[in-house]
Structure 1
């Protein structure tokens, strides 16, 4: 009898393990990570899991090299990484049985293993490692042994488009003298008695930050004109409150003592666009416009472009449509408008692209807009997304010609977003112009993680505009403010009369986007060496202080609905508040740290007492939850900049 009970119990256990979905909807993945050569367990290996429902979950192997993860769905992707070993990538089906035995191959020691502290004029740059080689993994457990497919990066992005890329250190040298940047002439202080209004267009671009990251990771200080402080500040996620009324944008204000000049105050003006659930977003008519000219050859260019667009393709819904236009010596349509449901056709078209030839960028833009117009969605999102290094040299290529093309097409409701790639011959000035005039955003993609963030984490904000031509006008109260200076936004300044002019183009906000602007103000009664912008006025009546009001300033914001031609106005006031920056909200402290960093990178005449140590202290106390790790990465970039600066003998 006992024999039969044992047999029955054993059968029950086997069925419990091998029958998927019995008594629970989640599936458990168990495995052991060992060294390929020695077969010893590897403790501390990071195992990341990606499914359509889970953007990323991770665990670390224990001292026996073991790990456990759970997921819902038909299949999952695992990434197993450990310093000194090649990252492995596995596709695991829902009905996988038994324990995975994963063997990581060590990476041969090379000159790339030089430690950061030993570098004098260059710093380690992260670049994608070669895709893992296809082989098999042994699965031990109940039932027959199976093979689990190891996947390349292309396989991964073809399915989900989001992953934790493997990076290995290498030192890369290149000449960036041929890169082009528009000049940035820093804003100066203005006397409130003479210029009480400050007017500018908002900016949600963040290309400058990732471009700066590329320079620092390569051991170089970025050119001063590559440092746009507002784009650095707006690179980060801030937890601002959502709009509560009918307006698509909320305004938040705050102030604190300025850390780089404690005699001054720092004012924060923050905007938050309303969040829109992915399922509620309108259908998209997209055209991928891809530069396949010879200047786009190399691992950080066309191959990375393909990865970026595969990540976006994975997010598309059946109601969305995609066409692909390419240009080199000439422009051509390689994929007609195709439903997002047919991902295989889109991915196949991307895989076949190769680089070579000259760069007919203007012709490519014209064909892309023509293709978008032929498939126009009256109540949808119509957008061209261009991926290029900006080196146009055939056909319409001057800034004026390109600007007129884009301005004409945006009136039809077709917007333009810009993705910048590459180094050495990068044309930042041209790409910034294209995005500004095309009612779109501008991002520089220096690695796959940046592509993932742009098209996966922030899918709605990247593609769907909730408010266009967004302008800010600040009126300062002379009772409290002697003079002021806008930190950044030099290329976004407007005339005061432009604020009420609905024909004047301005920046656009996407779903869930945040915008932060900082003003450094000199309070009344504080001595300052900053000269007045103009001579004192002779015939104007002296402006009377605003009674006993505690209002420091009034924020006015104008915006248009995406399809509207008439703007709407919302306002917000800021009352005087005395607080140290260390007592300010976490997001305020982080934005201040980034601005402080930008002043140092530019060697700004307004940097005051800014220092690398000050930036690190501010940022270190403002990391918060940092779910994506961007704030931790920022701290590492500051340390790299400090090292490079010390080696170059600068502050």
Structure 2
């Protein structure tokens, strides 16, 4: 009897072991299938991004001027979030640090003078390198109440090609535009142009009071056909010009996955077309949708050259942020061709580098050239830029250059006695003018400890450091995700909409995920 019982238990154990082995094999097979599917998705992806060569340190004596255009685009942040939420590390070229930083609002004071924006500066230790300093430059656009905004002449330019026939494309696009329609007033007018195999006008300019008519036109849109993007853009600008409102907000709002494959398809051709059309005083907002075949490079080109801004909408919450919460800043321009030029005092600054804005750099002579296009600032918008600085007398592993053999560079004697670290110069034009105005703002280092800086300073630094980690930048200098989180938590502030806590949670999630990548 005992022998029978022992044999019975042995048989049970063997069966359990066999069952576990089969289950383990099934799990491993499922994991392999999942990994293979993810690999296939990555390999089949035809997404396109413009190459970014990270800004390096520049000698303040040999290259004292740093000139760039402002950038109010925020597409990079939500696109990066999309990758992370899908369990993937975003491509390095998808991470544009200035757009990561400028995704968030900052608590800057409203402008008090005649200029449409205020300039805010701050300086402290660079969190990722205690030997270096970090300069924070902020612009706060004047917020105009919706009731006081000028009337709008809007043309919705909607991609209804076959590539848009996915849940996160045309259906999400329709819902997003309905939210925008809800913000329109009687004096605002909307026309709808679509493009697929050909371009066509599906809604004549209609008052914002007739919301049901506009929404019905959106509901009737269906995806199918190839992508005649160039023809669509031509028609949309023609409609906007025909119904131009003098002193109003004249704007084409393009919504697409950026996959133009017929007509004006190359970036160069599209760039020339947009540059020509912006002369008519019509601004551009580009809204990106979808994944897999997303053409970020084309979308960025369109917004850069079309006097416009660019956002990527990955979900309905982002649509609400862009088209409802930030309605004025997204659609109403208060200053155009906004450029910054910083001159560094070589008696105090050994070297500097601009964090981000690689695709927005300008030549020194472009600053005073009013024919040179630059970025636009919307109602209530904030723009933030960061510079990392190596002070004079500091030995840094990130900047080592031998003295010149055949020439010497002299510092102006007055620079040695000046308390100024640098001088910020800004140029901007009013939306309907062609002559720029100059603003000059010097900066003195008050040696503020990092812990005593504003939430604005530490928050922008935390977002920048996360972006550098995503790009695997050498300048991150062994900074950790945990340090990013702690600094962000200390600077979270009021966070009414929850965008900052979302960032903190995203960094935590990526930290956990990165260990297995």
TM-score (norm: length of structure 1)? 0.72
Shift of 1:540: 5.5
Distance 1:538 1:633, change over 3 A: same
| Equivalent in the alignment of 2:467 | 598
1:201 alignment partner in structure 2: 69
Cα deviation, 1:509-560, whole Å, max 9, x if unaligned, reads 0001101000000011110233467973844651135142211111000000
**Structure 1, unaligned stretches of length 5 or more?**
1-118, 124-170
CA–CA separation in structure 2 for the residues paired with 1:481 and 1:471 = 22
1:234 to 2:96 alignment: no
Deviations 1:79-129 (A, max 9, x none): xxxxxxxxxxxxxxxxxxxxxxxxxxxxxxxxxxxxxxxx99999xxxxxx
Asked if 1 retains the 8 angstrom alpha-carbon contact of 2:352 and 2:387, the reply is: yes
Q: Which residue of structure 2 lines up, in the alignment, with residue 29 of structure 1?
A: none
How many Å separate the matches in 2 of 1:603 and 1:179? 21
Higher RCO, 1 vs 2 (CA within 8 Å, ≥6 residues apart): 2
* Correspondence 1:128-527 to 2 at 5 A: 174-175=41-42, 177-527=45-395
The 2-side partners of 1:535 and 1:588 are apart by: 35
User: CA contact under 8 A between 1:121 and 1:219: conserved in structure 2?
Assistant: no
Deviation larger for 258-267 or 174-183: 174-183
Task: Report the RMSD for the aligned CA atoms in angstroms.
Answer: 1.9
Q: In 2, Cα distance between the equivalents of 1:487 and 1:640?
A: 24
Residue 400 of structure 1 aligns to a residue whose secondary structure is: helix
Select the structure that is richer in helix. Answer: 2
How many angstroms apart in 2 are the aligned matches of 1:588 and 1:173? 42
Residue 263 of structure 1 aligns to a residue whose secondary structure is strand
Contact 2:128 2:479 in 1 (8 A): yes
Pairwise CA distance, 1:583:
1.6
Q: Which residue of 1 aligns with 2:23?
A: none
1:118-129 alignment runs, 5 A limit: none
Deviations 1:143-199 (A, max 9, x none): xxxxxxxxxxxxxxxxxxxxxxxxxxxx99943731100001000001111111100
Contact 2:398 2:475 survives alignment (8 Å) = no
Contact 1:261-1:609 at 8 Å conserved across structures: no
CA 1:458–1:523 in structure 2 vs 1: closer, same or farther (change >3 Å)?
Answer: same
**Larger CA deviation: 172-181 vs 398-407:** 172-181
Give 1:595 shift: 0.3
2:62/2:409 contact within 8 Å kept: no
1:623 Cα offset (Å): 1.0
Counterpart of 1:564 in structure 2 is: 433
Q: Distance in 2 between matches of 1:535 and 1:437?
A: 41
Q: Does the Cα contact within 8 Å between 1:372 and 1:383 map onto a contact in 2?
A: yes
* Match among 583, 589, 594 for residue 452 of structure 2: 583
- The question of whether the paired residues in 2 share the 8 Å contact of 1:330 and 1:363 is answered with yes
Partners of 1:279 and 1:377 in 2: how far apart?
17
Q: Distance in 2 between matches of 1:537 and 1:266?
A: 32
Q: How far apart, CA to CA, are the structure 2 residues paired with 1:574 and 1:444?
A: 35
1:222-241: CA deviation from partner (whole Å, max 9, x where unpaired)? 00000000000000010111
Structure 2 residue ranges without an equivalent (≥5): 1-30
What TM-score, normalized by structure 2, do the two folds share? 0.91
What is the Cα deviation at residue 587 of structure 1?
1.2
Q: Residues 629-640 of structure 1: matches in 2 within 5 Å? A: 629-640=498-509
Helix, strand or coil for the counterpart of 1:462? helix
Q: Is the 8 A contact 1:173 1:218 kept in 2?
A: no
Aligned length: 483
Aligned to 1:536: 404
CA distance in 2, matches of 1:508, 1:172: 40
